[in-house]
Structure formats: C-alpha cells, structure tokens
A and B are shown apart, each in its own frame.
Chain A
Amino acid sequence: MSDRCTPTRYQTLAISNPDDLYFGTAPRPVRTRQGMVIGGGVVYPELNFTLPPISVEQSTHGRICQQYREIITGALARAVELETPGLVIEFETLPPMTENPQWAIDITKILVDAMEGAHAKHGLLSALRITPNDTREFIRPPVMRSGQKWDDMLATFEGCAAAGAELLSIESVGGKEVHDDALTMCDLPQVIFALCVMGVRDMQFLWTQVSQIAKRHRAISAGDTACGFGNTAMVLAEQKLIPRVFAAVVRAVTAVRSLVAYECGAVGPGKDCGYENPILKAITGYPMAMEGKTAACAHLSPVGNIAAATCDTWSNESVQNIRLLGGMAPTCYMEQLIYDCRLMNRALAHGRESALMLQGWMVESDEGLDPQAYVLAPDHAIAIARSIVVSRDYYTAGKTAALTAVGLIRQGLRSGRLKLNAREVPWLQTMQHAVEELPDRESTFIDQMMGGVDTSKFIAKDYEL
C-alpha cells in the first residue's frame, strides 16, 4: 500500500461558465449503490443529527444506540411520507466513537439496517455518509501519521465502510495547529502556511488512505471540508472578532487545501460544511453537498441562500435529537430539507432557464450583504477556481486565490454590488500587502515561516518539513 498518492493536479476547470455552475447538476455525477445519481439533475436532502448532552461511554452505549434507532426511524418515515426521490444520511461520529470504533460500527449498522429496510419496504433510495472525527488533534502536538488515534480513525472508516457506510468523509485538521493563531491575529501568510503547506501535505497522506479504504469496500471516497479553518473564521467574523473580509479571503484559500482530497481519489459529494465547495465543483466537476439556511439549527451563516445555488445534496449540518412541536428535531429537519429540495427540483424540471432563475435569486439575495457570500457567487467562485488551477504549486495557488478574492471584493465594493462596514475596508489593503510581500518560492516561504510560527505546536516531520 502506498503511503501517499501522487496527486493529479487539476490544470483546467470542469465548469468555466457561471451559468453551468448551479444546483443539482455536476459534469461528473456520482452514482450510489441503490442508484441515486448525485449531481445528475436532482438535488437530494442530506440529513445529519447529533445527540443531546450525554456522556458517550460504554455504560451509555445502549441508550445511545436506541437514540440513533429512533432518529433514523422517524426521519425515514417522514422521508417516505413526503416522497423524496432519495436522501443521504450523514453519521458524523462523536470523538469517543472514533476512539472506540466498534461503537461507531454498531451505530452504522443500525442506520444501514433501517435505510435498507425502508428501501425494501417503500423503495426509498438512500446512502449513508460516515464522517469520523479527526481525533489526531486530541494529542498535543498532534501525531498525524501514526499512533493509536490514527489507527482508531482508520479503523472507524474501515469498520463503518464494511458495515455499509457508502460515502467516506472527514473534517480533517492538518495545519490547524497554527491556523487558529493565524485567524485571531488575521495573519494571512500564516493562514497560507497552515492551509497550503501543512494542510496540503496532510491531505495528500490522509486522502490516499481514505481512498484506499473506499476502494476496498466499494464505497465512495467523498471529500473533506476546511470546516476547522474556514468555518472557524466565519464564526469569528460573525462574532465580530475578526473582519468578514478576512474570513472571505480565508475561504478562498481553503479551496487549495480541500481540493487535494479530489486529487487523491475523492469524487464527491463533497462534505456539506465545506463552503469552499462551489470553487471545488468548478474545478473538479464533482457534485457537492452544501448547507445554509436550513442549517440554522447548527450555526448562523451569512450564506444561507447562496450556498444552495450550487449544491447537489442539501444539508442541515447537524441538529440535536430533541423534541419540537412537529416531532423530534431530525424528523422536522428531514421535512424542511425535502421541501427545500422539492423547490430546487421543480426548477430543474422546468429546464435550465428556470434553474438559473432560482439560482440567480439565491445568489442575489446574499451576495451583496457579506463578502463571505460574495466570493461564493458562481462567477466569483469560478474566478477563484481559475486562479488556483493556473498556479504552479499549492503555495502559489494560496497566494493567488487570496489576491483574487481581495480583488473581487474591491471590485464589488466599487461597483456597489457589495456593501461593507467601513472598518472592514482597510483590511483589504493590509491583506493585499501581506500577500504581495511573500517570496516567490515555496522553499523560501517555508524557511521564513518555520522561523516565525510556534513550531512546538506541530510535529514538523509529519508535514515533511
């Protein structure tokens, strides 16, 4: 088994026309075992859920299994009732489940059994996405390529795939050791180091393994997300801790890192919380999961509608299993997602012009209000995507993506297409200057950064540094 793939770098775009970057349609759709074609002209709901506060341990495992059994039973019943053309269920484990893979496998079996039962009884098409936690970060500094955490994480992937989970995903964290500090200091060079030097190297290693596991089990290597990077920036911006323009530029840079999963065998649908996914869809042509307004149960976002503009599965991110007036929360969210998808699918059924009209409204409703939405508009996502594929290496791609995002935001501001709070504006110049000052060569950049970042926070050899 090879430790690391030789990444196939994308040099052209799969989608270069903004009018081809819309929901439900991907140039390289993904077919599931039961026959759903994700990206093949239909948007599918993707439901995720989590437990209410509870200690996850051996003594509670039985109760937890029962909760998952109730969740999936309720959600599938609602899905059957509302006649969805299919659905994706995401089982995002909790850290103790990744550390005790058998617990995750037990729950996977419960979910798969219920999904297969609904298929047999009602013809309901579905696929299960398994997302183990990247528990490597539980050790500080994280041991990225060996050890118990790594072994357990892979065992969770392997065991859950063997138990019937079909889509393999993770929110990996390579590079996060220095990225959090970079965010709080709004240090763009350090962001580029974390994502495009450290993150890229870790992704190449990790996704080689995940794709090999997928191959062994005839599962689908689906994709990663820069959640711990881009979404942390988004949350900090929402809390007014850092500028929104900074978070928007970070989002553009995250695409460089998340792309590596697809260079190492992933084929989508990309993970829902990767708001960089429109950029990745433009590059790879693979379908993408997205989340937005219907993920308000999990977190606030400034991209509630625009996120749907390019989605192929539409997700609620996560909801606790608590009782609402309409039923248990996952059941209620199943319903909401199905109705969201029905609307998109009606537009698709009416043809491309109708789909583009709805897509246009989704884009227009968000893009002018926040730079994080603005960079995800199809024309802008394509501009950022293009800047990445024409770059000679990941480091250069990170710089170019950042400068492209800054340029797009400036242009939006000038044209009136984008509104910005006055105190945000000077940060555009600060970011541009910081990137323009960076050296041309990656090796020089690495030397500079290794002398500046807190190297006690990571194991350099795990990043080939």
Chain B
Amino acid sequence: MVNLQNLADAIKVGNRAEATKLTRQAIDEKVGAKEILEAMVGAMDEIGKKFQRNEVFVPEMLIASRAMKESMAVLEPLLVKAGIKPAFTAVIGTVAGDLHDIGKNLVAMMWKGANFGVVDLGTNVSPEKFLAAAKEHKARVVGLSALLTTTMPAMKQTVAALRAANLAGLKVVIGGAPITQEFATEIGADAFAPDAASAVEMVRKLMVA
C-alpha cells in the first residue's frame, strides 16, 4: 500500500519519476484526491519553511516544485472529478515599466506550491491589465512586484485602479527590493511581503481575515 509520506519525500527532493509513480499508485489504490493533494501541499510547505530557514536554495525548491507540478498533472483528472479546486485565484505580475521577474516568479511558484490558483501576467503589466485579469479570473488576491524606485509610482497607480473598481474581497499584496511596509500602507495595499517564502503565509492570513 502506498505511503503518502514517501510521495511527500519524493517531492521534497525533487524526484519527479518517483513522485509521479507514487501519485499513480495512490490513485490506483483509491486514495482520496484531497488526501493526495494535502500530502503534496504539505511537502511544498515543508520545503518552503526550509527555504525560510536558509536550509535550501532556490534550485532545490524549484526541483521540488517541478516534481509537484508533474504529480499534480497526474492527479488533475481526479481533482476535477471530485470538484476540488484551488480555494481562490491570485493574479500576479510586475508593474508597468518594470521588467524584473525573478522575485515575482518565485512568489508565483510558492503560491502554486501552496495550491493557490495562480494567473501570472508577466512583466511590464499596466494597471488596466491587472484590473482586467482580476475581474476575469474573479481573483481574491493581486500580487504586484517592482524592483525599481522609478516604477513604484506604477504600483501606486495599479493599487488605485484596483481600489477604484471596488472588487469585493480583493486583497492586494506588494513586494520588491525598494518596497516597504510604509509604502504599502501609503498606497493602500493590504500587505507587504518582504520575500517569496513569507508571501504564502501572508496570503493565507489575508484569506482567513
């Protein structure tokens, strides 16, 4: 009988072949989709915490993420059949005029690992595009990233555009090298995430608040 801890371990070390094999085995043995999903998310949570404690580097987290992604692809039909969807969708992007995407990509990866629905709009995203995506995907969270002090005004404009649309329950999280809690408060963002790892817990807290 499959041991879901082994599945979690395979994900944590990024062993894609083993992770997908164990996922298939779990499905064959009629283990519940939710249970399998929880094992995967738990593995990513653990690797995220190790990352926060500086025990692993990003590439180690990325290979875990890839193992999870492949295992999720195996599990996907079962999740659909069982009506299990991510609890909410988050839209993320780097603001207009800014092309930096490493930090944004890391946050997107961490959010996916936590089983948030993630729509990644890429870089140099206009306020209008953020707003349109938030509406289209009925997003509960919008994540804005900026690396340049000169694109911080674009972040402010984007937050203003999202606020003006008055989307029910929408939370805006911002981050990036020059961003501070003070700036987040000043422009009316709901939260500031100082790094990719803390962006997961930040959103979880916002969603239960």
In the complex, what residues of B have CB within 8 A of residue A320's CB? 149
In the complex, what residues of A have CB within 8 A of residue B63's CB? 185
* Given A138-B99, A180-B101, A186:B150 Cβ within 8 A: no
**CB-contact partner of B149 in A50, A180, A243, under 8 A:** A50
Decide yes or no whether B20 CB sits under 8 A from chain A.
no
Decide yes or no whether B59 CB sits under 8 A from chain A.
yes
Q: Is B97 touching A95 in the complex (CB atoms < 8 A)? A: yes
Q: Is A184 touching B97 in the complex (CB atoms < 8 A)? A: no
Q: Is B59 touching A186 in the complex (CB atoms < 8 A)? A: yes
In the complex, what residues of A have CB within 8 A of residue B154's CB? 55
Decide yes or no whether B54 CB sits under 8 A from chain A.
yes
In the complex, what residues of A have CB within 8 A of residue B58's CB? 184, 186, 236, 241-242
* Given A50-B150, A53-B152, A186:B102 Cβ within 8 A: no
Bound CA span A56–B97, Å: 10
Q: Is A183 touching B149 in the complex (CB atoms < 8 A)? A: no
In the complex, what residues of B have CB within 8 A of residue A186's CB? 57-59
**CB-contact partner of A183 in B55, B102, B123, under 8 A:** B102
Decide yes or no whether B153 CB sits under 8 A from chain A.
yes
Bound CA span A56–B153, Å: 10
B99's nearest neighbour on chain A, judged by CB, is A137
In the complex, what residues of A have CB within 8 A of residue B149's CB? 50-53, 320
Decide yes or no whether B13 CB sits under 8 A from chain A.
no
In the complex, what residues of B have CB within 8 A of residue A56's CB? 150
Q: Is A240 touching B54 in the complex (CB atoms < 8 A)? A: yes
Decide yes or no whether A443 CB sits under 8 A from chain B.
no
* Interface Cβ pair total, 8 Å cutoff: 54
In the complex, what residues of B have CB within 8 A of residue A444's CB? none
If over half of B's interface residues share one DSSP class (helix, strand or loop), that class is named, otherwise mixed; here it is helix
Decide yes or no whether A140 CB sits under 8 A from chain B.
yes
**CB-contact partner of B97 in A96, A187, A241, A243, under 8 A:** A96
In the complex, what residues of A have CB within 8 A of residue B153's CB? 53-55
Bound CA span A53–B179, Å: 12
In the complex, what residues of A have CB within 8 A of residue B59's CB? 184-187, 242
Decide yes or no whether B198 CB sits under 8 A from chain A.
no
A51's nearest neighbour on chain B, judged by CB, is B150
Give 1 or 0 for each of B54-81: 1 = CB within 8 Å of chain A CB. Answer: 1101110011000000000000000000
Query: Which chain B residues (84-139) contact chain A, with CB distance < 8 Å?
Result: 97, 99, 101-102, 105-106, 122-124
* Given A53-B149, A53-B152, A241:B57 Cβ within 8 A: yes
Decide yes or no whether A415 CB sits under 8 A from chain B.
no
Q: Is B195 touching A239 in the complex (CB atoms < 8 A)? A: yes
Decide yes or no whether A73 CB sits under 8 A from chain B.
no
In the complex, what residues of A have CB within 8 A of residue B150's CB? 50-51, 53-54, 56, 94
Q: Is B152 touching A240 in the complex (CB atoms < 8 A)? A: no
Decide yes or no whether A212 CB sits under 8 A from chain B.
no
Q: Is A236 touching B122 in the complex (CB atoms < 8 A)? A: no
Decide yes or no whether A232 CB sits under 8 A from chain B.
yes
Q: Is A138 touching B102 in the complex (CB atoms < 8 A)? A: no
* Given A52-B149, A95-B97, A180:B102 Cβ within 8 A: yes
In the complex, what residues of A have CB within 8 A of residue B152's CB? 53
Q: Is B106 touching A241 in the complex (CB atoms < 8 A)? A: yes
Query: Which chain A residues (34-61) contact chain B, with CB distance < 8 Å?
Result: 50-56
B150's nearest neighbour on chain A, judged by CB, is A94
Bound CA span A54–B58, Å: 33
Query: Which chain B residues (20-67) contact chain A, with CB distance < 8 Å?
Result: 54-55, 57-59, 62-63
Shortest A170–chain B CB gap in Å is 15
Bound CA span A347–B58, Å: 43
Bound CA span A320–B153, Å: 15
A240's nearest neighbour on chain B, judged by CB, is B54
Known pairs A50-B149, A95-B97, A243-B57. 4 more at Cβ < 8 A? Answer: A52-B149, A53-B153, A185-B63, A186-B59
Those 8 A-B pairs whose CB atoms lie nearest each other, nearest first: A186-B59, A241-B58, A53-B152, A185-B59, A55-B153, A240-B54, A53-B149, A184-B58
**Contact sample, A vs B, 20 pairs, CB 8 Å cutoff:** A50-B149, A50-B150, A51-B149, A51-B150, A53-B152, A54-B150, A54-B153, A56-B150, A96-B97, A138-B124, A140-B123, A184-B58, A184-B102, A185-B59, A186-B57, A236-B102, A240-B54, A241-B58, A242-B58, A320-B149
